[in-house]
Amino acid sequence: MEIIVVIILISTLLLFALQLTFFTQKWVKWGLLVLIAIGIYFSYPYAIEQSYETIRQTMNNPQVIADFSALVIFEAILGCLLSILQIRYYAGKKLKKHWIYSLYFPGVVIFIAVFYLEAFLFISIRGIDFQIMAELLAIGIPVLLLVLTGIMRRLVTDKWLRTELKFFLHLMQIVMAMILSIIILKLPVSYVDQETHFKPLMLLLLIMLISAVLGYFYQIYKNNKYGNHH
């Protein structure tokens, strides 16, 4: 169960970086990064209270994970919808202003992901004053997200393909969150059966994910090659 939560949190960081690639106005991009930095700095008193044990307990708390899964599913469904609307917008379809503005909404799960990344770094890095560490992380994590944004923009230059990738990542989050819900609710099998079939299911999902990513970038390669011949 912990590995699924970690995958969801990592995919959330990737989605946020991917979202930043769509913003042509620099003030929007920097505004979101500053918001992340402020959140990191002011949440550090809570982050330093975390340990591997408390994080593990949180990730194995049924009520917390149930709420987390519901939030992820809600945001991911909304993200899929916005991705579809974004494609329509690129195709020249008119959208209402509230839908256009909603494309700038970073979501809530990103702050959870950043908090646990911050907590993990506080646990892993020792010998530095907490205040100084918080300031370094408030600068370093947004810079890391900015670098990741640049890498994504270079790897996937076409905004249509980036939107499709965003849609795919949201779908993956929905699947992962649903698996979490099944594990928490213990449906429709007993805990013993669930443990027996969990690893093969994760292996299958991993194979599907790798295959989809390879196929996706192969399609990009084909498109670039085709474009070069014309």
Question: What does the buried/exposed string (b/e) look like for 214-228 if buried means 16 or more CB atoms within 10 Å of the residue's CB?
Answer: eeeeeebeeeeeeee
Residue located via tokens 């992962």: 176
Mean pLDDT of 69-81: 92
CA distance 13 to 77: 17
Q: Which residue has the higher pLDDT, 72 or 51?
A: 72
Mean pLDDT of 20-26: 86
Does the pLDDT value for residue 206 go beyond 80? no
Give tens-digit pLDDT for 102-150: 777 888 999 999 999 999 998 888 888 888 999 999 999 999 999 999 9
Task: Give the predicted TM-score (pTM) of the model.
Answer: 0.76
Give tens-digit pLDDT for 162-188: 898 999 999 999 999 988 888 877 644
Instruction: Report the pLDDT value the prediction gives residue 207, as an integer from 0 to 100.
Output: 54
Residue located via tokens 């209270």: 49
CA distance 10 to 59: 15
Cα 23 to chain centroid distance, Å, stands at: 17
| Residue 109 to residues 55, 81, 137, Cα–Cα distance (Å) | 16, 17, 19
Per-domain boundaries in the chain: 2-185, 191-230
Task: Let me know: does 44 contact 145? Beta carbons within 8 Å.
Answer: no
Instruction: Report the pLDDT value the prediction gives residue 4, as an integer from 0 to 100.
Output: 87
Centre a 10 Å sphere on the Cβ of residue 99 and count the other Cβ atoms it contains.
15
CA distance 77 to 174: 7
Instruction: Report the pLDDT value the prediction gives residue 36, as an integer from 0 to 100.
Output: 93
